[in-house]
Structures are given as C-alpha cells and as structure tokens.
Amino acid sequence: MRIGAQDTIRVVENTPKVHNLIVCTLCSCYPWGILGLPPVWYKSGPYRSRAVSDPRSVLAEFGTVLDDDVEIRVWDTNSEMWYLVLPERPAGTEGWTEEQLMELVTVNSMVGVQNAKNPSELGG
C-alpha cells in the first residue's frame, strides 16, 4: 500500500477447477483500498500459519468444502503487490444486474475463504 498512490492489485479468478486464497503470513497485508481494514481473523496466527500449509482445512473451517480435483492456489502477500479474488459467479444469476450481483459478493469471497452467496442465501 502506498499512501497517496493507488494500491497495486492483481485479481485472481476462481473457476470450477481453480480456487484462490489470499493470506499474508508475515504480517497482515491486505487490499485495503478496495476491501477496507482486514478482518481480525485474517491478521491472526491461526489463519496466517495454516493458509499456506493446510488451505483445504482452512477453507473447511469457513464452511467451504472443495473436491480434491479443484486446484487450490494460495497467494502469500509478501510484497507491494496485493491480490483480490474474483469469486465464481453463482448459478441461477443469469440476467442479474450489477446491483443485484453485488448483494452476493462478500469480503470473505474476495479473500477466498468462501464463495459468493447463492441467490437462495439472500435474506427476505
């Protein structure tokens, strides 16, 4: 993060066969400019230590269970190049407007610990 300059962010896309996960094992680097301050769990020992060694079980702790044939890519933010996950577009959203889709995208889905919400998860 450069104060007074733009954050430099690389967006990594989730697909049915590739799931991305962001961490900063050394401190708490995070794409502040877009996501705001990082969650407390992101800055803490349990996540920082295990995201790079046990990403599947870390994801499971967030309720995200992936098949073994889904490749997990963990991005350790150890330089002034931040990452943002582009979550997979949920099924059943064909024809949705940007405003409608925004309701499904959570901070957790852009860090990669969870997928975007399904339409059925919206309140109401």
* Interacting residues toward another protein by CB under 8 A: 1-8, 10, 25-28, 36-41, 43-50, 52-58, 61-62, 68-76, 78-81, 107, 113
Q: Is 27 one of the annotated active-site residues of the chain?
A: yes
Query: Can you tell me the distance from the alpha carbon of 74 to that of 48, in angstroms, rounded to the nearest whole number?
Result: 11
Rounded least distance, CB 94 to another protein, Å: 30
Q: Is 109 one of the annotated active-site residues of the chain?
A: no
Burial string for 24-62 (b: 16+ CB within 10 Å, else e) reads bbeebbbbeeebeebbeebeeeebbeebeeebeebbeeb
- Which one, 69 or 94, has the nearer CB to another protein? 69
Q: Is 28 one of the annotated active-site residues of the chain?
A: yes
Catalytic residues: 24, 27-29
